Structure 1
């Protein structure tokens, strides 16, 4: 059996959540709460595996993307139009916020190497570096050459990930303190960070992207075992990197996180003076790869909802990409501190997750769509619990922000 059968879009799913958001939010979690929020990452990893498997199974059985299946399955009427609007709003706005975090994260890394002054236009402040990174992502997408470039940038992200894992092992944290971090504790001071950790791991647009890519990669029902292997291994490895970042940050010297230099402090024990440059290239690569993926996934959702062509060169795909990327550029140029913007983008993802995951749970239980491959009772219980937990946490974070 060819080993290539076991490798699908799983690594892309993992790479999408090992972006600037993950590095920033996990560092903030480690600096502010030590090992205390490792349980939130463990929950996120389980939730990601369960929901991504469901989305991938939908893609295999229907041979369509999740957005197309939702659009086709819902009957004509108010519920159909409301649902399509909700999915599109959540993905487009969520991806625009995520895109702003990706662009800002890439700029955060690049600022350690180069420095561009901000451009003031009336009352607006335009960050030149953000604009350049957004332009690079746009050109790569429009020219269709992003796949080759992404491969090289992904290598840099993998090297950054390995540095965090190696550093976490070298630090040798005490097992007692480490295990204590897997005991859930929620309060007013850590709720936003918990939701951000969930939002940076269980990325809503990944659910839609994964189902589309699976339908292109695998065709036979017997391929389901390969899909599950690909998903579980990729998500667990990605989650391990996230935990390594928390451990590194908790054991580091940073007292606050405002820049990429602060993010790099935890790696100084391993890399010395080179830590700053290593982090700069890693963050930049993570920012650009994610800045390519987010608008592409958002455009697939928009086109899928309306039954338009999902060819990247089609007018509908290009218009959607330009809109999401442009909105992300606007968000990233509002003068908000990059670290704050990145964190809030992950919080937005965490809030949107229960709204979108309910559609997956509904479709994956419809026999007319899934035939004999509907969820088992055990999977429904696990999926239902995940949905309930994310709904409660998301609602609590909204309440804390508003009141």
Structure 2
């Protein structure tokens, strides 16, 4: 990535196919539907039926906008999000945010591996705790020992497990007319439970770790391609790369929100309809589906939990590692050898195994996940606000600052998340 390299030849037709444009955005969006998110969407559907489906129509454009902005920052500057945040905000503020992100991600990993262990034990006989340990160790080994390009391709194929949640809709009875009517014109209940669940849906869908991951993956894509450069140094690449980022992110966030919609729809059409209104985990949702929706729906739902966890844990651990490395100027790349990026890989290992270790402690995973959501709420708003300032700064972005329409959507998303966080804290009292 030398600034004096010659102009790049136009991409080949093969390189410009729509499938080749899917990468960081698709993986980021799919990872958002992790076992913890599945639990949130399942609870929303079980408790309120179809009356919260509208939230996922609102989160899609907001989520897509903020993820495009994070990706643009990474591609334009050739640096991860934490490094860029330090160029605008006081170092101590970034340190505090990144520290909270690390803690929140470890708690989220703990909840995810626990859910994966429980889900696997529902399908195949075995102890949930040791299944959870196995998934945690497997995730570490894959990230540390598989070369970046091969690992990214593996993550891309893993996104197909999300089809399990689309499939479940077609093996249960869904009153589509009622669904359409309620999605467009829901019965809103202005009470604490309803508002808290809205906050949970927004907090689960628009999460800080996704910003750090997608920006860093754009940097990884730069490093993996000898012909690519940060866009500030390669104006001839701008139109093609911005177009790819938009397409990749719109598809990825569309997948994320569509799958969340189907999970909420499935549990609303089955569990809520049968009077099951309290779901505390994704594994419990799978178990509750069995007598209501049948064996096939149960197996699809349970295996989907395992697959989404295998996709999400690397993103949770990796985003924490990228954030820490960017903050303290360590070498950070999944394409680097372990010996060349010990501290970066060390964070991945510690975060994942610490998450696994929490499951051996006398800690209620549901309460832990609740506090993880609180931490994410604390982190999200300042990170998004600083991101917007960075993305609008000619000093950092050159003449590639974000367009007015994208800037408006980004600030709208920041405002919505600020309102959701205030509502969350207000619900404590």
**Both proteins in one fold, TM over 0.5:** yes
Q: Number of paired residues?
A: 386
Alignment of 1:195 with 2:199, yes or no, is yes
**What is the Cα deviation at residue 342 of structure 1?**
4.5
* Aligned partners of 1:29 and 1:193 also within 8 Å: yes
Say whether residues 1:221 and 2:238 are aligned partners. Answer: yes
2:144 maps to 142
Within the alignment, does 1:311 sit opposite 2:333 as a pair?
yes
The residue aligned with 1:295 is 317
Distance 2:244 2:71 in 1: 11
The 1:61/1:228 distance shift into structure 2, 3 A limit, reads same
Q: CA deviation at 1:163?
A: 1.4
Cα distance in 2 for residues equivalent to 1:213 and 1:372: 22
| Between 166-175 and 208-217, the greater mean CA deviation after superposition | 166-175
Per-residue deviation at 1:116? Answer: 5.0
- In structure 1, what is the equivalent of residue 349 of structure 2? 322
Measure how far apart 1:243 and its partner are. 1.0
Q: Could you tell me how far apart the structure 1 residues matched to 2:167 and 2:21 are?
A: 26
Q: Which residue of 1 aligns with 2:286?
A: 263
Query: Tell me, what secondary structure is at the counterpart of 1:112?
Result: helix
Q: Distance in 2 between matches of 1:60 and 1:288?
A: 26
TM-fit CA distance, 1:189: 1.6
1:17 aligns with 2:25: no
Asked if 1:369 corresponds to 2:396, the answer is: yes
Structure 1 segment 236-247 matched on structure 2, within 5 A? 236-247=254-265
Q: Which of 230, 236, 257 lines up with 2:248 in the alignment?
A: 230
Report the alpha carbon displacement of residue 161 of structure 1 after superposing the two structures with TM. 2.9
Counterpart CA distance in 1 for 2:198 and 2:32 is 15
Map residues 23-102 of structure 1 onto 2, 5 A cutoff: 23-71=38-86, 73-74=87-88, 80-102=90-112
1:345 & 1:366 partners in 2: Cα distance?
31
Deviation at 1:62, TM superposition (A): 0.7
CA–CA distance in 2 between the matches of 1:112 and 1:179? Answer: 36
The 1:97/1:150 distance shift into structure 2, 3 A limit, reads same
The residue number in structure 2 matching 1:159 is 163
Instruction: Determine if the alignment matches structure 1 residue 176 to structure 2 residue 154.
Output: no
| C-alpha displacement of 1:58 | 0.9
Change in CA separation of 1:386 and 1:240 when aligned onto 2, cut-off 3 Å: same
Comparing 37-46 with 26-35, which one deviates more in the overlay?
37-46
Q: Identify the match of residue 424 of structure 2 among 379, 383, 397.
A: 397
Deviation at 1:265, TM superposition (A): 4.5
User: How far did residue 149 of structure 1 move?
Assistant: 5.5
My pick for the range that moved more, 256-265 or 29-38, is 256-265
Structure 1 position 59, deviation (Å): 1.4
CA-to-aligned-CA distance 1:256-308 (integer Å, 9 cap, x gap):
324525335458777x3233322222211212221222111211111111221
Deviates more, 1:251-260 or 1:333-342: 333-342
Once the 2 structures are TM-superposed, how far is the Cα of residue 89 of structure 1 from its aligned partner?
1.5
Query: Structure 2 CA distance, aligned partners of 1:86 and 1:36?
Result: 37
- Structure 2, unaligned stretches of length 5 or more? 1-12, 223-227, 229-236
* Cα distance change on mapping 1:8 and 1:133 into 2, 3 Å: closer
The equivalent position to 2:266 in structure 1, one of 223, 248, 270, is: 248
Ranges in structure 1 where 5+ consecutive residues have no aligned partner? 119-126
